[in-house]
């Protein structure tokens, strides 16, 4: 039952957030996107290692 509630909240939030993002005038430059992309993979790896240690 909790899974259905979580999925419902996620679905409703997507329905609300996506139109708001499309209407906003905030745009991210390609240079800024490249800076963010450079940090994503190392941060994901760090989170995975931390989760591995917590699991053990």
The domains of the chain are located at 2-55
Spell 34-50 as b/e; 16+ CB within 10 A means b. eeeeeeeeeeeeeeeee
Q: What is the pLDDT along the chain (56 residues), one digit of tens a residue?
A: 899 999 999 999 999 998 888 888 778 889 998 998 999 999 999 999 999 999 88
pTM: 0.48
Residue owning tokens 């005038």: 25
21-to-2, 40, 51, 56 alpha-carbon distances in Å = 28, 21, 31, 40
Tokens matching residue 43: 């941060």
Geometric angle at alpha carbon 22, from 20 and 24, rounded to 5° = 70
């Amino acid at each position: 039952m909790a899974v259905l509630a979580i999925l419902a909240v996620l679905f409703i939030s997507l329905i609300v957030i996506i139109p708001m993002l499309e209407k906003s005038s905030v745009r991210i430059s390609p240079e800024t996107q490249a800076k963010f992309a450079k940090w994503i993979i190392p941060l994901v790896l760090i989170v995975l290692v931390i989760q591995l240690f917590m699991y053990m």
